Amino acid sequence: MDKNTLLGLLIILAILFGYSAYNNSKVQKAKQQQMEELAEQMAQQEKQDSTTITIKMDSVGGKTDNAFSPVPQAQQPDITKASHTDYYAETNLAKYTFSAQGGYLKKIEFKDIYAYTPKDSAKKNLILFDGENHCFNLNLTLKNQNTVNTKDFLFESESNDTLIVTEIGEQLVLRAHPVKSVTDENGVQTQSPDSASYIEYVYTFDPDNFRFSFRVNMVNMSQYLYSNSNSISMDWAAKLNNVEKNYDYERDITTIYYMDNTNKVDNLEERKPDKKEFATELKWVGFKQQFFTSVLIADSANFSSGLLKVSLPDKSERPLLKEAEAQLEFNVGNLDNGGFDMSFYYGPNQYKLLKEYDLNLERQVPLGWSFLLHWINRIAIIPIFNWLEAYGINYGIIILILTIIIKTILFPVAYKTYMSSAKMRVLKPELMEINARYPKQEDAMKKQQATMSLYKKAGVSPMSGCLPMLFQFPILVAMFRFFPSAYELRQQSFLWAEDLSTYDSILDFNFNIPFYGDHVSLFCLLMTIATLFYTWLNNRLMAPTGDEQQQKMMKWMMYIMPILFLPMFNSFSSALTYYYLLVNIITFIQMGIFRYAVNEEKLRAKLKENMQKPVKKSKWEKKLEEMQKMAQQQSYQKQNKR
């Protein structure tokens, strides 16, 4: 590993550790902010009034009281079902449970997608939400300008209570009717549902799609609701629970994503509580976890405004990762015959699947979207990966073939880097002579000038080894983003690794080692050993580029760096550490090929021949010399005038 390679690796190390330090430095401040927001939320909750609001109206033949019916109380009849049973819809991909109280989706159980289970445990279908972990409701303003929530209403099914979806377009229709109280001339009051007025939720399914439509209809509601309340506020909230092996990693990358009306996708902070209020329109909002996402999409028009918030609970509240909330507004047109079309996506956070919807939903997959990295992943890595995946081979073999393809494409770059190192190595006698000529520290500048003069005469450019390394750097980091976010690797085994999407533990501790963890990842360990061996091999071949003390320090740094990387990669995706291990192994093979193919004696002879030729000056050097001469002449003329 020469000086230029070390420089490239130091840049990588600085970026990775710098990013980690930047985020960790804000943890305490984030927790304090969270506690303050929680206290404020609890104070507001205590002020809410959950009583039923009744609006009185005059009519012919007596006095009529019209009111919405929340969950029936002792004095109110149950206008839907005495049992308050839930409603169900089942597609080829998932089972959905809708609450009779509120009409919202309360439980999602996927088919053929399994939750993480410890070794030798039976597989269980993954349940993304269950019960109170997921809720949405509409906030409605009554004529007296008080507010009621649809989560308190009982919804009646206008279709079957259980819907087995076999064709596109099958619907589950739920309605909440107001209760109409009528007082006759004798003063006797009776209550009955107003069958002509209702709020309607229409869920429309596709048997082979994780996305389903959701329409809110208002029918003859103007007599109950405030006349200017056609702009409806909706609350959507979810407690996002851990469903993967690595709780800490999944927690760190869970947050809220959104797209505005300019098709710009952004997200809230990942490692601290965050909230953002919008006065502009939003197209969709997504509660994104590591490998699954829940997205609410505005179909008929955009959401007119919104408030997004993500809370960071204490780690002691496992399996809870974070709490996500979205307060969104939409316009139903009118209260008597209006509505708003939306759709939900609950499913894998998989690039190729989300891209099919043409809504930029795939931007929720962390591919390094703010840099060149996502172009490398989108244009090169993902297409090659998907092409290999189509053959149905093991994903460990796919990663091996992918690595060979990448290293083959980069073969000319690796060759150029090796040749740069070889040229400097064959000049070792001349470099040692320069070091002996300028042994003192105060002669460092002269030694540097002599070294650069030697390189120039021999036709060697030190930067020719550094630039190829920097060219490979974006690919290295692109893979760093790709493997941990590849849904395809979830629960895919290879060799001793049970799940390539997370760390491969061959030894678990009953305690946590600071900066290392509570387990040993074998792929990470092998990667570190291979890197140390590669470092040792390069140190034997390295040409002297400075004084003896500097060389010793550089060698120690090259040995320390892999050790520093070890605890960081120990909890990373085993697919990533396996890939880096393969890169090292293939690099060894390439170096063997280069050593066999390059005759260093002939190379030295060629460089010695170059040193005998007159050095051609570049245009820039000639221009610089002309400027220096002009400056000297001007200085001479000024002195003569004096």
Choose one of 304, 331, 365: the last residue of a domain: 365
Is residue 76 situated within a structural domain?
A: yes
Q: Tell me the C-alpha distance between 423 and 459, whole Å.
A: 9
Tell whether 115 and 198 lie within a shared domain.
yes
557 contacts 545 by C-beta, under 8 angstroms = no
Q: How confident is the model at residue 100 (pLDDT cuts 50, 70, 90)?
A: very high
Is residue 98 situated within a structural domain?
A: yes
Q: What is the mean pLDDT of residues 608-633?
A: 65
| Domains: count for the chain | 2
- For the stretch 288-347, pLDDT in tens is 999 999 999 999 889 998 899 999 998 888 889 999 999 999 999 888 999 999 999 999
285 contacts 257 by C-beta, under 8 angstroms = yes
* pLDDT of the residue at 64: 35
Tell whether 301 and 432 lie within a shared domain.
no
Tell whether 268 and 387 lie within a shared domain.
no
Give 478's Cβ-side CA count (13 Å radius): 20
Tell whether 354 and 402 lie within a shared domain.
no
Q: How far is CA 627 from the centre of its chain?
A: 53
Q: Tell me the C-alpha distance between 197 and 222, whole Å.
A: 9
Q: How far is CA 157 from the centre of its chain?
A: 38
Is residue 34 situated within a structural domain?
A: no
Is residue 19 situated within a structural domain?
A: no
Comparing 443 with 339, the larger pLDDT belongs to 339
Q: Tell me the C-alpha distance between 570 and 573, whole Å.
A: 9
What percentage of the chain exceeds 90 in pLDDT? 40
Helix-strand-coil percent breakdown of the chain, rounded to 5? 40, 30, 30
Q: What is the mean pLDDT of residues 16-28?
A: 46
Tell whether 438 and 543 lie within a shared domain.
yes
Tell whether 437 and 350 lie within a shared domain.
no
Comparing 2 with 396, the larger pLDDT belongs to 396
Q: What is the DSSP letter of 454?
A: H
Choose one of 365, 383, 408: the last residue of a domain: 365
Residue by residue, what is the 3-state secondary structure of 201-252? EEEEECCCCCEEEEEEEEECCCCCECCCCCEEEEEEEEEEECCCCCHHHHHH
590 contacts 417 by C-beta, under 8 angstroms = no
- Asked whether the predicted pLDDT for residue 619 surpasses 70, the reply is no
Q: Which residues contact 295 (CB under 8 A, 6 or more apart)?
A: 284, 285, 286, 287, 344, 345, 346, 361, 364
Encoded tokens for 274? 């965050």
Q: How confident is the model at residue 522 (pLDDT cuts 50, 70, 90)?
A: very high
Tell whether 270 and 174 lie within a shared domain.
yes
The CATH number assigned to the domain holding 112 equals 2.70.98.90
| Helices 382-389 and 395-409, packing angle to 10 deg | 140
Helix (H, G, I), strand (E, B) or coil at 348: strand
Domain of residue 603: give its range: 374-496+510-612
Is residue 2 situated within a structural domain?
A: no
Is residue 622 situated within a structural domain?
A: no
* pLDDT of the residue at 27: 39
Report how many helices (DSSP H) and strands (DSSP E) the chain contains, helices first.
16, 26
Out of 64-78, 190-204, 263-277, 385-399, which region has the weakest mean confidence (pLDDT)? 64-78
Choose one of 312, 346, 365: the last residue of a domain: 365
Tell whether 446 and 523 lie within a shared domain.
yes
Is residue 42 situated within a structural domain?
A: no
Tell whether 221 and 277 lie within a shared domain.
yes
* pLDDT of the residue at 513: 86
Q: What is the mean pLDDT of residues 248-265?
A: 93
Encoded tokens for 572? 């990373």
Tokens 């809220």 belong to residue: 256
Tell whether 326 and 241 lie within a shared domain.
yes
Tell whether 348 and 381 lie within a shared domain.
no
Q: Quickly count: other Cβ atoms within 10 Å of residue 433's Cβ.
A: 12
Q: What is the mean pLDDT of residues 3-19?
A: 50
* pLDDT of the residue at 475: 86
Is residue 257 situated within a structural domain?
A: yes
Tell whether 280 and 349 lie within a shared domain.
yes
Whose CA is closest to 483, among 566, 404, 409, 578? 578
Q: How confident is the prediction for the chain on average, in pLDDT?
A: 80
Q: How confident is the model at residue 464 (pLDDT cuts 50, 70, 90)?
A: low
Q: Return the sign of the alpha-carbon dihedral for residues 590, 596, 597, 603.
A: positive
Comparing 248 with 432, the larger pLDDT belongs to 248
Give the global pTM.
0.78
